[in-house]
Chains A and B, each alone.
Chain A
């Protein structure tokens, strides 16, 4: 396993994700960006806050434990 390759893999996926593209890595899963709208959140204490919107990275796995090996 070449470290150059890992670096490149990381960079390529990051670049694509930042551009909001989803990346499918066959045999592993899919990376994509999901947008979360702002929302109200109520704590148990009764405090109510507005949570700001957010773009998050989601990973949808293609494999489960035991699928391979």
Chain B
């Protein structure tokens, strides 16, 4: 059992064929010869299917196929990828800053950019004047952006610096902030809107008289340049927007997280399925050993619970519901302890069960409650459990 001790080390290591066979022997209970035979057969299957222009899919694992250059390719299945990437699951690309563009065209582009460093004041002024005329009549964002600007007016700590001749900088900054504000508009986040709406509501109260003030600025035409003021104001605007975006992003991703982080713990032992799919034209020849692809991954099943179904948290174990998921509350190495814990839960009215799992080469006994058709259902039910079980649990597939 040298291998076992090797496997326990956290150091990443290579599993060569010999080790792979040993692991497979342990897993399947077949003897070494049989495992090697099966392994070769599997490789044969993958290559021959790929040779025939078909892709061979192993459910829950991935897809093997040859690309146009004749290289064997492997596309991991989603759940496999997620499992491997669990550390970063749920992270999404973050927009760093509004789009930058150096030309003066495309005033109405959503990704129109601002000149953060004040190098292109001339251009921006021209843009600005043009924009004033053909400002798009955006029913939602047009309003909110104006309001946002006005809010900035109110709170602008630099407002006093901007009195008198400098007031047109304010004008310019507003424009720029506004332009900066257009970038998130293109962001796919749907709830950004809500946020803006809120802002709008807030600022609308605050500054009903702002537009008039803006228009009456006496030196509107006279453009003086103070790049520092511009830069500061733009930076403030960008920081507010980016900050808001981050906070929003946080809020929008957290609810999803439990599901994604839990995924690695979910053991998906579905019936083994291999399916060949045509990647080129249909072939008359179909291997008789090829099984049909299972239609749906259980993880993908929507949380639709029919009350008449055999699933549930309380009562007795229903055998037909053992194809689903359970909420694991204890994981023990001692079977006796696990059984008695299960009995206790059972006495408390829960459907409880003990399942055996191999973890890192040793057997653990997991005590689970309830039978659920899908992970979301189980998660939902888990929230209702008494403390500390409502937080200290994970969902696993019931394997029978």
| A contact set with B: CB distance below 8 Å | 1-14, 16-29, 31, 33, 40-41, 45-57, 59, 61-66, 68-69
Of B157-165, B191-199, B269-277, B390-398, the stretch lying at the interface with chain A is B269-277
Contact of B43 among A13, A27, A51, A66 (CB under 8 A): A27
25 A-B interface contacts by CB (under 8 A)? A3-B271, A3-B273, A5-B42, A6-B42, A6-B58, A13-B61, A14-B60, A16-B15, A21-B14, A22-B13, A23-B14, A26-B17, A28-B72, A29-B74, A40-B96, A46-B100, A48-B100, A49-B93, A50-B95, A55-B88, A59-B76, A63-B47, A64-B71, A66-B70, A69-B51
CB proximity of A63 to chain B, nearest CB, Å: 6
Q: Does B289 have its Cβ within 8 Å of any Cβ on chain A?
A: yes
Of B22-30, B129-137, B296-304, the stretch lying at the interface with chain A is B22-30
Query: Chain B residue with minimal CB distance to A12?
Result: B23
**For residues 56 through 103 of chain B, which have their beta carbon under 8 Å from a beta carbon of chain A?**
58, 60-62, 66, 70-74, 76, 80-81, 83-85, 87-88, 91-97, 99-101
CB proximity of A67 to chain B, nearest CB, Å: 8
Determine whether the beta carbon of A51 is less than 8 Å from that of B61: no
Determine whether the beta carbon of B41 is less than 8 Å from that of A1: yes
Determine whether the beta carbon of A47 is less than 8 Å from that of B183: yes
A61-B30 contact in complex given A46-B99, A56-B85, C-beta closer than 8 Å = no
* Chain A positions within 8 Å of B100 at CB level: 46, 48
CB proximity of B130 to chain A, nearest CB, Å: 19
Determine whether the beta carbon of B39 is less than 8 Å from that of A1: no
* Chain B positions within 8 Å of A55 at CB level: 84-85, 87-88
Determine whether the beta carbon of B95 is less than 8 Å from that of A2: no
CB proximity of B396 to chain A, nearest CB, Å: 14
* Chain A positions within 8 Å of B58 at CB level: 6, 9-10
Q: Does B347 have its Cβ within 8 Å of any Cβ on chain A?
A: no
* Chain B positions within 8 Å of A17 at CB level: 80, 84
Taken together as a complex, chains A and B put the C-alpha atoms of A8 and B88 apart, in Å, by: 27
A45-B99 contact in complex given A22-B15, A66-B70, C-beta closer than 8 Å = yes
**Most chain A CB inside 10 Å of its own CB: which residue of B72, B81, B269:** B72
| B contact set with A: CB distance below 8 Å | 7, 10, 12-17, 20, 23-24, 27-28, 30, 35, 38-43, 45-48, 50-51, 58, 60-62, 66, 70-74, 76, 80-81, 83-85, 87-88, 91-97, 99-101, 111, 113, 183, 186, 264, 269, 271-274, 289, 291
Taken together as a complex, chains A and B put the C-alpha atoms of A43 and B376 apart, in Å, by: 35
Determine whether the beta carbon of B51 is less than 8 Å from that of A27: no
* Chain B positions within 8 Å of A22 at CB level: 12-15
Determine whether the beta carbon of A6 is less than 8 Å from that of B14: no
Determine whether the beta carbon of A50 is less than 8 Å from that of B96: yes
* Chain B positions within 8 Å of A27 at CB level: 40, 43
CB proximity of A28 to chain B, nearest CB, Å: 5
Contact of B83 among A18, A23, A49 (CB under 8 A): A18
* Chain A positions within 8 Å of B20 at CB level: 12-13, 23-25
* Chain A positions within 8 Å of B88 at CB level: 52-55
In order of increasing CB-CB distance, the 10 nearest A-B pairs are A65-B70, A59-B74, A46-B99, A52-B91, A61-B72, A7-B272, A3-B272, A8-B27, A20-B12, A49-B93
**Most chain A CB inside 10 Å of its own CB: which residue of B23, B30, B40, B100:** B23
* Chain A positions within 8 Å of B95 at CB level: 47-50
Determine whether the beta carbon of B99 is less than 8 Å from that of A23: no
* Chain A positions within 8 Å of B99 at CB level: 45-48
Determine whether the beta carbon of B70 is less than 8 Å from that of A64: yes
